Amino acid sequence: MKVQVTVVPKSGVLDPQGKAIAGALTRLGFPGVGDVRAGKVFRVEIEAKTAAEASALAGQMAEKLLCNPVIEEYEAEVVE
Amino acid sequence: MSAGARPRVSVVVFPGSNCDHDAVHAVEATIGADARPVWHAGTELGRPDLVILPGGFSYGDYLRCGALARFSPIMDAVRAFAAKGGPVLGICNGFQVLCEAGLLPGALLLNSGQRFRCEDVFVRVETIRTPFTAELTKGDVLRLPIAHGDGNWRIEAEAWDDVTTHDQVVFRYCDAAGGRGTGANPNGSLDDVAGVCNRERNVVGLMPHPERASETMLGNTDGARLFRSFANGLLLGRTG
């Protein structure tokens, strides 16, 4: 199975990259660009019997390594 | 340590550390230390009086700065040493590693200006209740070099209350006269924080590089004051 963990800077935490990207999108002429959060995506192949098990493992990976809860938040999902 | 003996200093070397030799040299030159590099894959620190986590780019800054170094085998020994009250100093990347390892509060984000900053800055001593600032005076201004892209220290609001309540901010960026709010902060860190300590006060981390400003030949000896403070404290049996 394949799980996907998406990690982005928490709302309220300054994201210099996201801010610069928002500025660039606005300069390109995209109207109404608001807050942009630049983060990371991890796709992990994993042996699991059920999607629920895979999803739970992905959450643990995020909690223990992929995401630093002081500054980041994550979403974990099973993609395959 | 008995009087007259040389302080024993272990400098942890991660793959990607690049200020390890500087740190070894600085403590040899400033406090006559018996200093040795300790490879991260080992499990023994070698009975040091002080452990330094040096600057650099451990594990290529992959994932997050310091995030992977936290899992190096030697970190169990560092944790145990710190838990027994042993002094630990994290410089730049070493500070990032200590935050990721949970030995220091907060985390370090990309600089607010998105640029790697390599220059001298001024920092103000905010507490003398650490082994490295015990012989300084609160309000003292030090000129120290920085060289980092991720020095923007952040922490959650509740944890920040804890840090301030327990006097854990050790250094703040300032101007040459010790003033704040004048654009002296090079990375946008919360409340101009440049360095913090743990609640027990034996673990200290800072973004500036005292080891690069410890010899007359280098034109600046402000950094040596941190090492001397530690060494004299050791001689006097002072803790914290």
pLDDT digits over B165-204, tens only?
Answer: 999 999 999 999 999 987 899 999 999 999 999 999 999 9
Crossing angle of helices B224-236 and B20-31, rounded to 10°: 60
How is chain B split into domains, by residue range? 8-236
> Nearest CB to B114: which of A20, A66, A68?
A20
B198-217: average pLDDT: 97
Instruction: Return the HEC string of B179-217.
Output: CCCCCCCCCCCHHHEEEEECCCCCEEEECCCHHHCCEHH
Residue contacts between A and B (CB atoms, under 8 Å): 36
Predicted pLDDT at B4: 59
For chain A, report the end-to-end CA distance as a whole number of angstroms. Answer: 5
Contact B119, B75 (CB under 8 A): no
> What is the Cα B63 distance to its own chain's centre?
22
> How distant is the Cα of B187 from the closest Cα of chain A, in angstroms?
11
User: In this structure, how many other beta carbons lie within 10 angstroms of the beta carbon of residue B192?
Assistant: 21
Q: Is the pTM of this model over 0.90?
A: yes
Q: What is the dihedral of CA B206, B159, B88, B22, to 10 degrees?
A: -20
ipTM of predicted complex: 0.83
> Who's near B56: CB < 8 A, 6+ residues apart?
B14, B16, B17, B18, B19, B20, B92, B93
Reference B211, options B89, B117, B45; nearest CA is B89
Choices 3.40.50.300, 3.40.50.880, 3.40.190.10, 1.10.645.10: CATH for B8-236:
3.40.50.880
Catalytic positions of B are 92, 209, 211
pLDDT digits over B86-139, tens only?
Answer: 999 999 999 999 999 999 999 999 999 989 999 999 999 999 999 999 999 999
A22-48: average pLDDT: 95
Please state, in angstroms and rounded to a whole number, the distance separating the CA atoms of residues B36 and B47.
Answer: 11
Say yes or no to pLDDT of B3 above 70: no
> Nearest CB to A70: which of B106, B114, B188?
B106
pLDDT digits over B8-65, tens only?
Answer: 999 999 999 999 999 999 999 999 999 999 999 999 999 999 999 999 999 999 999 9
Q: Is A24 on the interface with B (CB under 8 A)?
A: no
Do B114 and A71 count as a contact with CB atoms less than 8 A apart?
no
Choices 3.30.1490.20, 3.40.640.10, 3.30.1280.10, 3.10.20.30: CATH for A2-78:
3.30.1280.10
Residue with tokens 């040795």, as numbered in its chain = B36
Predicted pLDDT at B24: 98
Please state, in angstroms and rounded to a whole number, the distance separating the CA atoms of residues B178 and B123.
Answer: 7
Residue B32, phi-psi category: left (phi > 0), alpha (psi -120 to 50), beta (remainder): left
Tokens of B152: 């923007």
Q: Residue B221 corresponds to which amino acid?
A: T
Say yes or no to pLDDT of A32 above 70: yes
Contact B87, B240 (CB under 8 A): no
Do A16 and B159 count as a contact with CB atoms less than 8 A apart?
no
Mean pLDDT of chain B: 95
